[in-house]
Amino acid sequence: MLKVDVIVDLQYGDCGKGKVAHYLSHTTKYSHVLRYNGGCNAGHTIFHKGKKFVTHHIPAGVFFGIRSIIGPGCVLDPVQFFREIKMLEAGGVRTRGKIFIADNTHVITGAHKAEDKKKGGKIGTTGRGNGPAYRDKYGRTGVRAKDIPKLKPYLINLYDEWFTLSGVEGFKKNNARILAEGAQGFGLDIDWGDYPFVTSSHCTTAGALLNGLPPQSVRSVWGVAKVYETYVGSKKFQPKGEVFKRMGDIGEEFGSTTGRRRQTNWMNMQTLERAINMNGVTHLVFSKVDVLRTIKLWAVIDKKKVLKFKSEKAMKDFIIKRLKPLGLARNRIYFSEHKDRI
Ligand code: IMP
Ligand code: MG
């Protein structure tokens, strides 16, 4: 039977999904890596064999020759897609015969991008055309990948890919093992984020399933969070205080897609709890512990209060205790302090 592991960002994007996807892609055996939502608004920073890559559309499986699928939960910009393939090839990554697009995936057009650049300022969108592309999809006036001749060599029927899996080396028929890699984050989700300061897609475990995956197939859900929060967009997010500017500087908190400075804050435990519960998180990776270690301050927000800790250990102990009632045991919580591993 088909099995799926899902990666979901529990905050506002940029928590290190790319790193976790890259890590799982070579430590667990997968037949496919699926990108399940978003478009080229996403920017995944991945360190592969010591080299830095920023991907927007193509899932991390491609670095290991795993079949990498862009699912119909996504919207795809063909211009960016071909640019990305070129960038990967130039960096020494073999992409031939490894990258596929579900034929029912909707496409971002030049008109979508022009409109988003003009009108996206109020929300602070990335200007990549995602909102207009999803709007046209739901308005039933969209363009799909199967309508674009240049994309033809990459198109697949996702039903056949998932359920009649055959000829994939090392995997039995009907036994697909899928890593589902998301974009953006729960705090930007169209339904559960702070509307209208949200993206246009479903950044949830449920959003992964919308790509033709049965609910019983979910094996584990890897939540990813930072030990502090960042948000990029138009709403006011960062509180007053020098420490938040330092966090941004030391954490190099600039958008990998637009280069905008990300706003920062302490991690909010209640927001995190909500994201863990709604996404059914079974494993949790906290990124960027090294950043707080450098600024030598340890704090979180819980029940609207800032809780300060004397040491890194005290903060980690608090977090572990706080998450235990949510079903997250210590051995499923990872504190990561490296760019290239968890
Ligand atoms: P859009 O997704 O370009 O429509 O932008 C909507 C909101 O989501 C804005 O606040 C963007 O900055 C934010 N956003 C979109 N994609 C990402 C991402 O990959 N990481 C972080 N923020 C994102
Ligand atoms: Mg990013």
pLDDT tens-digit profile of 17-45? 999 999 999 999 999 999 999 999 998 88
Instruction: Scan for tokens 């909010």, then name that residue.
Output: 268
Rg value, the chain, Cα = 19
Q: Measured between alpha carbons, how far is 200 from 49 in angstroms, rounded to an integer?
A: 34
Q: Is residue 166's pLDDT more than 70? A: no
E strands present in the chain: 3-9, 32-35, 44-48, 51-55, 67-70, 75-76, 99-102, 106-107, 155-156, 177-181, 218-226, 228-231, 263-268, 283-287, 298-302, 305-309, 333-335
Q: How confident is the model at residue 341 (pLDDT cuts 50, 70, 90)?
A: confident
CA of 231 to the centre of ligand 1 (A): 9
| Candidate list 14, 77, 116, 189, residue with the active-site label | 14
Respond yes or no: is residue 14 known to be catalytic.
Answer: yes
Respond yes or no: is residue 116 known to be catalytic.
Answer: no
Q: How confident is the model at residue 172 (pLDDT cuts 50, 70, 90)?
A: confident
Pairing of strands 305-309, 298-302: antiparallel
The predicted pLDDT at position 236 comes to 98
Residues 6+ apart with CB under 8 A from 306: 266, 299, 300
* Percent of the chain clearing pLDDT 70 (strictly above): 99
Residues pairing with 228 in the sheet: 266
Assess whether the C-beta atom of 232 lies below 6 angstroms from ligand 1.
Answer: yes
Name the phi and psi angles at 288, rounded to 5: 65, 35
Residue owning the nearest CA to atom 22 of ligand 1? 13
- Tell me what the pLDDT averaged over the chain comes to: 96
Q: Is residue 141's pLDDT more than 70? A: yes
Q: Record the pTM.
A: 0.97
Q: How confident is the model at residue 167 (pLDDT cuts 50, 70, 90)?
A: low
The predicted pLDDT at position 174 comes to 81
Name the phi and psi angles at 158, rounded to 5: -70, -30
Q: How confident is the model at residue 5 (pLDDT cuts 50, 70, 90)?
A: very high
Among residues 5, 8, 14, 3, the alpha carbon closest in space to that of 278 is found at 8
Assess whether the C-beta atom of 129 lies below 6 angstroms from ligand 1.
Answer: no
Assess whether the C-beta atom of 74 lies below 6 angstroms from ligand 1.
Answer: no
